[in-house]
Structure 1
Amino acid sequence: MDAGSRYNTSSRRPFSDHKLQRISSRENLDRFIPNRSAMDFDFAQYMLMGGKVEKENQAPCSPSREAYRKQLAEIFNMNRTRILAFKNKPPPSVHTTCQNSLSPLHQSKPNNKRRRYIPQSSERTLDAPDLQDDFYLNLLDWGSNNIFAIALGNSVYLWDYTNSSTSEIVATDDDNGPVTSIKWAPDGRHLAIGLNNSHVQMWDSSANRKLRTLKDVHGSRVGSLDWNSQILTTGGMDSMIINNDVRIRSHVVGSYRGHSGEVCGLKWSASGQQLASGGNDNLLHIWDSSRASTNSATEWLHRLVDHTAAVKALSWCPFQCNVLASGGGAGDRCIKFWNTVTGACLNSVNTGSQVCCLLWNRHERELLSSHGFDHNQLTLWKYPSMVKITELVGHTSRVLFMAQSPDGCTVASAAADETLRLWNVFGTPELAKTAPKTKTEPFVNFARIR
């Protein structure tokens, strides 16, 4: 069977953008009542009489009255044309009771801000046979080259989001496999692959070629990976966290020791100064990059013990650099937010189900979580209120893995039901803000390293 046949690339009809109709209404202009205190009635009478005092059909008047008339004419001999005076501004127009009774929409002020429509069905569903149903592994990642990688048994497949092409890049034997973790390098070309036999392989995706193997990095399987520039950090079942500089022959340049169980979650902060690690021992650690050493450093910044189950789901906030979100397993079911400077827990929300993965929306203050046991859903939350915006259902088993597209709009989810689904949950590229481009250092020629 060829690599492409392992996927069912039948696409569903994509959802179009939803546009809210504007509510048009006619303004009712009320009549205005003249302000009598601001009116000059003598001048009004004078103007109504054509600017002169009528003498026709009038009885002779006394000299004093005639003098008064002359003086009045002199006073009004100026450029004054308005008769009525309105000092106060008219009140704002309001809808009448009759119009309010037409529709509930007229009772509220129209919101000019365009709301984002979130499709409730996946944009596309792909087959993912032999996907391991293991909560502690990390088998899906989406690179900056817009290609996502997924580990299926002993193989790793690449799926190009731009043209839907599929290729197999890795096929290991049973002695080395299965694949237990994958992670794209920042350049979007090199892929790190953790194996069950404790080795880590480096692959060039463009050349479909293995560059080198980091042997015996751990004492057992490598279940978690993350990059910090040229440093590949690995977490194993042996509870160790190791920093590997892939540019040099002696690649181990530092390590952290603090967990007593398998390290199933690893995430470097955007600045590269702090590392978050979660383990099967229910612990969450925050490490300082400057404190790693080759002697297994145990000087963590914070040792956080609030979770009551394995901590795999980790995600750094993109708009608050020192805020970390973490999720607990089936015995915990909570999403917690941490200030990684002080170690304080900012908030804790019980989701009611196992938290498998967390992803921040880069364009809005929102957080997406994937779950298992019992509803197998994706939940979108408003941050920081943690009001539930929507739930996305479709998977029939727990949603173990999630990855985000380079533009931050589309999310890929892989579940134990052996399907991979694409969700347009964070908006469309046209509406999304352009993310600033970051410079990445070129990778060394791995062929020179033996």
Structure 2
Amino acid sequence: MQDLTEHNSCVTPLPKKRREWRDSFANTFSSKKRRLSHSTPERLHDTLAASNPTPTGQEAISRGDRFIPSRRPFSLPLHASPRTVRIANVFGLAEDRIFSYNDHSLRTPESKMFQSLRSNVIQLFQQPKAIPSVSSLANLGVNKQFVLALDAPGVPSDLLSFPLSWSACNKIAVACGCDVYYQDLDTREITHLCSTDPPIRVIEWAKQDSNVLALGAERGTLNLWDATDSTLVRDWSDDKRIGVYSFSWHEEVLAVGERPGSIGLYDVRVPQAIAKLGGHKVPVYALEWSPDGKYLASGDASGVVQIWDAAASKSLGEGNKKGGRMKHGALVKALAWCPWKPELLATGTLSPDGRIRIWNTLETIDKSTSPIHTIPVRTAITSLHWSPHCKELLSTHGDSWEDGVGGLKKYSTEFSNSITVHSYPSYTRLLNLTAHTSAIGHSCLSPDGTKIFTICPVEEAMKMWKVWGRNDQKGAGVGGGSILNGSKFVIR
């Protein structure tokens, strides 16, 4: 026993074998490794994959030591922590990279929501787009006051009448009962043109000779007057003609909407009508020549709009040619051809329809064809005007209504008695302005295409509004620069 003890005491103890660590397993249980374990699954997968030995079983040669380890062949977010990872996951930023080539549509709904929130925040800091100087937003949208106001006592109370017209030489004419007056907006001189019996319901200045004014009455009176010397130029009155309801000039030809449904074409050089168009069965309350004068649009009391070939004196609906009948849900009073896109025709209806429709007349139009766009306003549309300077459409309105017990019920909306401007081609509403306290009966566009005159039969007043601008703002424009906002005069 003693010998065994002595023998063991003489054995030299072996040194402990030093444990060697591969470079890829350095600091395996460090605090940074614990932080990385809470990172995203993709990044954690990359970390674990890099920690595995090589497929050949051969250990990688280490080029570092325990104090300065070798650089790893992959990048890890050293700033990652459980808190930052949680924040990134909540806000959908865990997968965001500087260069991301993945499909954002494949993200989860939560990520889409936060992506939408981020895009909305970006829009808040974006600079607003500059408004063109010709747009209504830069003119009527800024100065919402009328430029000029004129009294019009005795103006027809019928909203189907056209008692207002603006000439190319800057004269505004108005029918006040049996009397017709006009004012030179350059000199402010007011002139009494004539007196007739019965009362005048429709007037319009000629396009070729801006001093010639056409007058129409309900009992068939149809005259031409020269404003330079207040003389009667032509009398087309006919006892067989029951009434005159609408006018439209093209050069020296005047289209007249008559009752019971015919359209007469009159040349100022000829004492009789040169053509008669008989496609309507009810009175024609709207007429408008196309900008090139090749086609004539007509709308009647039943809501039917037709396109006519002026040269052939027949409707384009015959033989399924381009154009034709366009049906509406109510009487059509407003028509407007687009000056910069001649195939576009805008139509507006009264109660109970109250819609603006845009038609492409180049397409084949039959009974089943629909307009390319419809703007429902549930308000009477009394006139329409395309801007010649920008892609905008103006409409004037009367009463609004809603469905009630026993039929339609009148009530006030933002469109009631207003001037409304729509953009093209989106047809979004740019601005809306209440112009009168009651329904706007009619409006007319200035010769330079920047202003309109509106008339209200209940107020017996007419107002001028600056709606659009021009690219060449060198001159004072129509009406001159001396017209003050809120000026008021009386035509008698």
Give the TM interval when normalised to the shorter protein: 0.5 to 0.7
Which residue number in structure 1 is paired with residue 456 of structure 2?
Answer: 415
- Judge conservation of contact 2:316–2:323 (CA < 8 Å) in 1: no
Residue correspondence of structure 1 range 46-61 to structure 2 within 5 A: none
Which residue number in structure 1 is paired with residue 244 of structure 2?
Answer: 222
Equivalent position SS for 2:280: coil
Which residue number in structure 1 is paired with residue 344 of structure 2?
Answer: 323
CA deviation vs aligned residue, 1:217-240 (integer Å, no higher than 9, x gap)? 862121111112211111113211
CA deviation vs aligned residue, 1:415-436 (integer Å, no higher than 9, x gap)? 122110100011268549999x
> How many residue pairs are counted as aligned between the two chains?
326
Residue correspondence of structure 1 range 11-160 to structure 2 within 5 A: 107-109=125-127, 111=129, 114-115=132-133, 116-118=138-140, 119-160=143-184
Equivalent position SS for 2:467: coil
Equivalent position SS for 1:138: coil
TM-score (norm: length of structure 1):
0.68
Which residue number in structure 1 is paired with residue 362 of structure 2?
Answer: 341
* Distance in 2 between residues matched to 1:224 and 1:432, nearest whole Å: 36
Which residue number in structure 2 is paired with residue 196 of structure 1?
Answer: 218
CA shift for structure 1 position 371: 0.5
1:304 is the counterpart of 2:325: yes
CA shift for structure 1 position 114: 4.8
Residue 375 of structure 2 aligns with an amino acid whose one-letter code is: V
Q: CA RMSD in A?
A: 2.6
- Give the unaligned 5+ runs of structure 1: 1-103, 436-450
* Distance in 2 between residues matched to 1:364 and 1:411, nearest whole Å: 15
- Judge conservation of contact 1:265–1:277 (CA < 8 Å) in 2: yes
- Judge conservation of contact 2:396–2:418 (CA < 8 Å) in 1: yes
- Give the unaligned 5+ runs of structure 2: 1-121, 401-415, 478-492
- Judge conservation of contact 1:255–1:297 (CA < 8 Å) in 2: no
Q: Which moved more, 1:344-353 or 1:278-287?
A: 344-353
CA deviation vs aligned residue, 1:46-92 (integer Å, no higher than 9, x gap)? xxxxxxxxxxxxxxxxxxxxxxxxxxxxxxxxxxxxxxxxxxxxxxx
1:394 is the counterpart of 2:412: no
Residue 208 of structure 1 aligns with an amino acid whose one-letter code is: S
CA shift for structure 1 position 112: 5.1
- Judge conservation of contact 2:179–2:200 (CA < 8 Å) in 1: yes
* Distance in 2 between residues matched to 1:434 and 1:277, nearest whole Å: 36
CA shift for structure 1 position 196: 2.1
- Judge conservation of contact 1:258–1:298 (CA < 8 Å) in 2: no
- Judge conservation of contact 1:409–1:429 (CA < 8 Å) in 2: no
1:264 corresponds, among 237, 261, 285, to 285
Which residue number in structure 1 is paired with residue 193 of structure 2?
Answer: 169
Residue 432 of structure 2 aligns with an amino acid whose one-letter code is: E
CA shift for structure 1 position 136: 2.0
CA deviation vs aligned residue, 1:328-350 (integer Å, no higher than 9, x gap)? 11111100011112235211110
Residue 382 of structure 1 aligns with an amino acid whose one-letter code is: S
Q: Assess, with a 3 A threshold, how the Cα gap between structure 1 residues 298 and 212 changes in structure 2: closer, same or farther.
A: farther
Runs of 4+ in 1 over 4 A off after TM superposition: 110-115, 296-301, 432-435
- The structure with more radius of gyration: 2
CA shift for structure 1 position 397: 1.3
CA deviation vs aligned residue, 1:227-286 (integer Å, no higher than 9, x gap)? 12211111113211011122023x211111121211110001011110000111111111
Which residue number in structure 2 is paired with residue 358 of structure 1?
Answer: 384
Q: Assess, with a 3 A threshold, how the Cα gap between structure 1 residues 304 and 331 changes in structure 2: closer, same or farther.
A: farther
* Distance in 2 between residues matched to 1:276 and 1:211, nearest whole Å: 27
Identity of aligned residues (%): 30
CA deviation vs aligned residue, 1:88-109 (integer Å, no higher than 9, x gap)? xxxxxxxxxxxxxxxx999223
- Judge conservation of contact 1:266–1:314 (CA < 8 Å) in 2: yes
* Distance in 2 between residues matched to 1:337 and 1:217, nearest whole Å: 38
Q: Which moved more, 1:273-282 or 1:339-348?
A: 339-348
- Judge conservation of contact 1:256–1:298 (CA < 8 Å) in 2: no
Q: Assess, with a 3 A threshold, how the Cα gap between structure 1 residues 271 and 422 changes in structure 2: closer, same or farther.
A: same
Residue 426 of structure 1 aligns with an amino acid whose one-letter code is: W
Q: Assess, with a 3 A threshold, how the Cα gap between structure 1 residues 391 and 205 changes in structure 2: closer, same or farther.
A: same
Which residue number in structure 1 is paired with residue 294 of structure 2?
Answer: 273
* Distance in 2 between residues matched to 1:168 and 1:209, nearest whole Å: 12
CA shift for structure 1 position 199: 2.1
